[in-house]
A and B are shown apart, each in its own frame.
Chain A
């Protein structure tokens, strides 16, 4: 029986959530049996899955550090997930206590968890919204309360775009966000890529994620680069995430195993 269209979505924890699967890859325990089962199936198909997640999370950390160093004090993290360890506000506020961070996620459990973690933090909050409604995000009163769109903002959409198929017109979504931003704002994107991988592996990974609410939409490096439209990519451009400004040359070795590509762009004046 379908729900009437005025009724909000149900919370179905019998279905694996990509947010909690990701937490499992990172070594967290903020997950349920269904999530672990799905994550384990993913690991069976793609043994490096946990490494990929860790590499992505490390990219996020370096990107945020880079942005704080560049003077950015406002962060809009869309698809922020379950705050496990190494959250954006922890990184940003450690380096700059006045930094403001607004998290956005569609997953109601992730949102509830974030709210608990952020209780008492005046500089950070969470909003339940969908990347596919960027206008609602930028108009949201809680977003407006913390973020001044007349000043530079870093928009982070990290490990999320592979859940946004081309049918949802990601380029348009990003354009809407871009139009709300002041010059010298930033965009950080990363997502799963199958460049250089076999079709089998890709098919199996896709099969696992079809069990969740978020099927996978793999993109190539050139496709992701195109999504930076209007932004000027900083060095080294869109690369395997371990290659993005690594802390040491060794940490960028075998970077393609991470299966994640990403980059950071700056909005021209």
Chain B
């Protein structure tokens, strides 16, 4: 009912009529608007504000004159002001002031008790206003607090999410997305160290791709990385339910908890090998992938994560040595043997320095007259804890590690030194035969080394025999052949050791500076029985062939007089073996000579 005259009240609009009242209301609204502007932000145009206040002015005028006087009308106006954002203490103060001073006058209102009514009306406006302002303030406070809480919760959530992200980054391999070593170590430790799990069994499957470096080298790292990612995905799929981690490089490991026995880890290994086997097309290249797998499975009690990892890693290397593309199961005894061997080979340099090695000699006798023509030098190790060790317990190790070079050098020097002191009453002193390892023959300084030794010891070259294996000569390198030729030209005897066990190709002997063949003991062993005609025939043809090539033949492993007799009959030149004497210190052999 804005603007309209109140229908029938105690007071009347002034006689000037509704038009004048409206213009009066407008004038008043202008003054009111001016009074409240700046008390708070009013989200409207000046015109909108004045229109609003004009309507409220008319409501106030109506309320002032209404009969009976209605407090609620004044309160409503107060609330409307607040709703229109004319909502501040100043806004109320200015409103009271302007209404009190100007409403009656500007609108030309006439009533008996106007002052009285005005006081009550303003009280009602103030009440409505204060109430609305309080509600609004409380609402706003509540909403801003809620917003702060929401923002806090959101920040907490974001913090947790980034913590989770951070933890994920710290515990996963960025390339494959698999758990990394840190997470694996944590989970393995939990599996092994959690109280109450001592009776459980646990297994590890340690996987290493075969020849991965070659893939990386020939196709580039990108292909290598793509392959790792693909293999990782396959493991994830094939080994679902087990923790698969990438330890770095091309090494992966699977944790198998609550195993019931070795067959559980073997099943995992086979699934993994099969997964690797699927043909792989990486960046357009068909790549064949295989892996070597080490397995360990045991009761939790009494083991530790470190021990399990070492065992699995070591076992994986067994699979590698076996050619890869297979699994091996941990074997404590084998492991201990390996450790012992490693310890032994590590001790060789110090043993050389302390003089723990010494030589025994085994006679080489002429089959014609039984005369001692030479001795083979055999190295022994007087180990402080293990006693005297024979070469078969440490020569392989020395060859693997390259320690054969200093050790073999010592043997050669010692043999030359000793032989230089031997003199024979009557006939010629025996020659000394020394084994040379592949690495020694391939070393560039061999000729110089032998020359120097001969000069220093005074040993005539023809009293030195170097024994090399067939395989030494199988390499295509020319240098060793040249070196042997120089040595042969000096007069040094060159023998092929263990002839017949390896490649056994007589043709190549023609081109080599070889003077003697030592026929492996196993051929001789066949002569033990009288019926072994086949072995005898092979041996006979071997001997005649050797003789045709101008080589002498020594038979190894001669144990009986019968064997010696038959070898002699075949035409074999010399023999070596228990029948002629076991390895002994030189002085004892020499003593028998004289």
A109 contacts B143, C-beta separation under 8 Å: no
Contact between A61 and B155, CB atoms less than 8 A apart: no
Shortest B46–chain A CB gap in Å is: 5
A–B pairs, 22, beta carbons within 8 Å? A7-B159, A8-B158, A8-B159, A10-B155, A11-B151, A11-B152, A11-B155, A20-B144, A27-B41, A27-B85, A29-B137, A30-B147, A50-B38, A53-B41, A54-B40, A54-B41, A57-B41, A108-B151, A113-B147, A116-B146, A116-B147, A251-B46
> A6: which B residues are within 8 A, CB to CB?
162, 165-166
Q: Is residue A76 within 8 Å, beta carbon to beta carbon, of the partner chain?
A: no
Give A70-108 interface residues, CB cut-off 8 Å to B.
Answer: 82, 84-86, 90, 108
Q: How far is the CA of A111 from the CA of B148 in the complex (A)?
A: 9
Size category of the binding interface on chain B = 20 to 34
Interface string of A6-46 (1 = CB under 8 A from B): 11111101000000100000111111100000000000000
Cα-based distance from A32 to B43 in the complex (angstroms): 23
Chain B positions 26 through 52: 1 when the CB is less than 8 Å from some CB of chain A, otherwise 0: 000000000000111111111100000
Distance in angstroms between the alpha carbons of A81 and B151 in the assembled complex? 14
**Interface: B23 (CB within 8 A):** no
A29 touches B136 (CB 8 A): yes
User: Which residues of chain A are within 8 angstroms of B141 by Cβ–Cβ distance?
Assistant: 29-30
Report the minimal beta-carbon distance from B42 to chain A, rounded to whole angstroms: 8
Is B584 positioned at the interface, with any CB of A under 8 Å from its CB?
Answer: no
| B222 CB within 8 Å of chain A | no
- Given A20-B144, A116-B146, A247-B46, 8 new contacts (CB under 8 A): A7-B162, A11-B152, A26-B40, A28-B140, A30-B143, A57-B43, A112-B148, A251-B46
Chain A positions within 8 Å of B163 at CB level? 7
Whether the Cβ atoms of B165 and A247 lie closer than 8 Å is no
Is the C-beta of B87 less than 8 angstroms from some C-beta in chain A? Answer: yes
Q: Per-position contact with A for B102-139: 1 when CB-CB < 8 Å, else 0?
A: 00000000000000000000000000000000001100
Bound-complex Cα distance A50 to B40 (A): 8
B residues near A11, Cβ cutoff 8 Å: 148, 151-152, 155
A164 sits at the interface (CB 8 A): no
A109 neighbours in B (Cβ, 8 Å): 144, 147-148, 151
Given the interface pairs A8-B155, A8-B158, A112-B151, the reply to whether A27 lies near B88 with Cβ below 8 Å is: yes
Contact-residue bracket for chain A = 35 or more
Which B544-582 residues have C-beta < 8 A from chain A? none
Let me know if B396 is at the binding interface, CB within 8 A: no
Tell me which residues across on chain A come within 8 A of B154, comparing CB atoms.
Answer: 108, 112
4 closest A-B pairs by CB: A27-B40, A86-B43, A113-B147, A29-B140
Give the CA-CA distance A90 to B47 in the complex, in Å. Answer: 18
Q: Which residues from B are CB-within-8-Å of A203?
A: none
Chain A positions within 8 Å of B146 at CB level = 112, 116
A182 at the interface (CB under 8 A from B): no
CB of A117 to closest CB in B, whole Å: 8
Which residues of chain A have C-beta atoms less than 8 A from B152's C-beta? 11
**Which residues of chain A from 215 to 260 have any CB-CB distance to chain B below 8 Å in the complex?**
247-248, 251
Residue of B nearest to A110 (CB): B147
Residue B338 at the A interface, CB < 8 A? no
Restricting to B152-179, which residues have a CB under 8 Å from any CB of A?
152, 154-155, 158-159, 162-163, 165-166
